[in-house]
Chain A
Amino acid sequence: MRLLKKTITSYFIFSAILLLVAIPIFYYAVKKMMIKSVDENLMATKTRILPQLNNAAINHTEQSLHLSDYEILFVKEEPNNKGDSIDDIEISGVNANASVPGRLLSSHFVINQESYSLQIKTSMLDKFLLLKRIVLVSVILLVVLLLGLLLINRALTRKIWQPFYRTLNRLHEYRVDKQPSLILEQSSVSEFNDLNKAIQELTERNYQAYASQKEFTENASHEMQSPLAVFQSKLELLMQTKPLNEEQAVLIADLANASKRMSRLNKSLILLTKIENNQFLEKESLSVKDMLQKLLQQYEFQIKQQSIQCTLKIETGIVVEANRTLIEILLGNLLSNAIRHNLPGGSIEIALYEKELVVQNSGKPSSLEKQKLFQRFQKESRDESSIGLGLEIVKKICDLNHYSIHYSFNNQMHIFALHF
């Protein structure tokens, strides 16, 4: 969850709870207060009209009692010991089916040894309307207040965290192989400045480590070229010496093969460093189809020799904009792997779609380790001609060109899918 959303959510939940709890409480509190005041009024009215009631009882003019705002009913009754009581009632209004809420005060008197009952009704309609309005206005105020606070908070947070997000974006874009260190701008918040400083130092250290590692590989492989060249030349001179018996010749041939492997390894390492240094700048439009066909032609002998059934299915001949050498190496490595790690009499299926190249081959009856597959020196076969850099080179070339490559094992076939 995003930082901003998280804080806002907390605020929002709090506001919602507050509104949900506060509004009913407020409603009932105000309602209670209103009823109380109405009841007090009723009692006061009763006290106020007591002398009138006495007169009415004496003069037997109970029917003619009138009060503004109140409905009054003063009648004789059977003697009882009931006291005063105030209750909720429904008063049927002008309209017969509509009734309005009201309060009724029932009181009992004894005047001249005769029992009287007094009922004073009052309508609560106005009061309740007022209550509704008060609650409504309060709710609106509260909602507006909370929304306003939320918005202000949001805007403020956004502004305060802006340097953080900027740093984050820069970090996302940062590639140790592309730029030495990350220079981040100053912020008015000291914590962010600390963060930026820490990141800057981290990237600097990172770059230094990366650079020295790269330099080492570069130097090591370049420095190796000369002794390798000397070694190879001496071997070839040794081949010319006479007399030379078979035992020596076999040893020399083995040495020559080892020397060849060393120089291949070295070449591959140099190639990797060059790819990492982005030294293949020239790009041209390349037909993947043509290149595949050319490579297959080159590998024809090997394919035939292992009696491999090779099928090439081309749906569309796609054209990519890339460096020729690199794409040749990329396709060459994929195809030669499919040949090298195949079984005698196995099969290779190459399919070229609009945006994808799929190379499938039979081989080892179990899946390769996906995690390690594209890493340096992860050799799957004990084959001497494998040096363990092929797939790393493939991966590096893919990364450079923003292609993706995936491996899967299905139906006894090792599948490499290259997405252009």
Chain B
Amino acid sequence: MKILIIEDEKELSKSIVAYLKAEAYSCEVAGDFKTAMEKTESFEYDCILLDISLPDGNGLQVLKELKANHKTDGVIIISAHDSMDDRIAGLNLGADDYLPKPFHLPELSARIAAVIRRRRFDGSAIFTLNEFRFDTVAKTVAVHNKPVDLTRTEYDLLLYLVTNKNKVVSKNAIAERISGEEAEIFNNFDFIYAHIKNLKKKLAAAGSEDYIKAIYGMGYKFEI
């Protein structure tokens, strides 16, 4: 799957490439508006990460061109200016998602996966991994074809870890994923531990292997 990263901050695009490399993604980078236009005109990508503020142009222009040429590349806007206006403008122009900087790489990876899933399966978004079968529309998961009764948060957490499989996902990233802003207000990760514990218990009861590992005090990993 091809991903284009339009981002002028070299170090950031390097990080993204490094993180996504392990997944089956092939990444290309465009550091400025001109390169971005050339690449989007000539090739098709499964997902484009688009920074709005580029040194020689506005990222939204790239998006406009894409839509004008009826291209169907998925687009996630990554912006330093987290403003409602940018968000609305981007989404109105047909972007699939919007992620304000600074973001967690696991979060980016999850969003990319979601965009690609939406475009690929066109609704019947079911994928399997070992004994798991995820239905990302119904938001259910089955182990050995037996549905597991997970709360919404537990499901989100599992899917998040699975999309970032074999990678350490930091507690901060998990906290932000499952409780959004609230995670920022209280510097308290106990609730993550509680959710993980419940999730592991339910999966074990459903007969799944214990894939979720705590990595010291840093975070969790879905190891497969």
Inter-subunit contact B105/A233 (CB<8 Å) = yes
A298 interfacial contact with B, CB 8 Å: yes
Inter-subunit contact A234/B15 (CB<8 Å) = yes
Q: A234-B15, A263-B102, A302-B186 are in contact. Are A239 and B170 (CB under 8 A)?
A: yes
Inter-subunit contact B218/A236 (CB<8 Å) = no
A260 interfacial contact with B, CB 8 Å: yes
Query: Which parts of B172-224 form the interface with A (CB within 8 Å)?
Result: 172-173, 179, 181-182, 184-188, 190-191, 194, 215-219
Q: A263-B102, A302-B188, A385-B187 are in contact. Are A253 and B170 (CB under 8 A)?
A: yes
Q: A332 to B185: give the CA distance in the assembly, Å.
A: 9
A232 interfacial contact with B, CB 8 Å: yes
Q: A253-B171, A298-B179 are in contact. Are A237 and B187 (CB under 8 A)?
A: no
B85 CB contacts on chain A under 8 angstroms: 279
Inter-subunit contact B80/A222 (CB<8 Å) = yes
Inter-subunit contact B102/A253 (CB<8 Å) = no
A316 interfacial contact with B, CB 8 Å: no
Inter-subunit contact B19/A236 (CB<8 Å) = yes
Q: A232 to B9: give the CA distance in the assembly, Å.
A: 13
- Pick from B167, B186, B190 the residue with the most CB of A within 10 Å: B186
Q: A343 to B11: give the CA distance in the assembly, Å.
A: 44
Q: A240-B167, A305-B190, A332-B185 are in contact. Are A225 and B18 (CB under 8 A)?
A: no
A383 CB contacts on chain B under 8 angstroms: 187
Size of the B side of the interface (Cβ < 8 Å), in residues, is 42
Inter-subunit contact B218/A229 (CB<8 Å) = no
Inter-subunit contact B102/A325 (CB<8 Å) = no
Closest to A280 in B: B84
Residues 68-112 of chain B, each 1 if its beta carbon lies under 8 Å from chain A, else 0: 000000000000111111000000000000000111111000000
Q: A222 to B181: give the CA distance in the assembly, Å.
A: 19
The residue from B12, B187, B215, B216 contacting A229, defined by CB atoms under 8 A apart: B12
Inter-subunit contact A222/B81 (CB<8 Å) = yes
Q: A230-B15, A385-B186 are in contact. Are A252 and B218 (CB under 8 A)?
A: yes
A303 to chain B, nearest CB (A): 10
Q: A237-B105, A263-B102 are in contact. Are A256 and B19 (CB under 8 A)?
A: no
Q: A236-B168, A253-B216, A256-B171 are in contact. List 4 more A-B contacts (CB 8 A).
A: A236-B170, A237-B18, A340-B186, A383-B187
A residues with a Cβ closer than 8 A to B are 222, 225-226, 228-237, 239-240, 244, 246, 249-250, 252-253, 256-257, 259-260, 263-264, 267, 270, 274, 279-280, 282, 298-299, 301-302, 305, 325, 332, 336, 339-340, 383-385
10 chain-A/chain-B pairs, Cβ below 8 angstroms: A228-B102, A229-B102, A233-B16, A233-B105, A244-B215, A249-B218, A257-B187, A267-B184, A336-B185, A385-B186
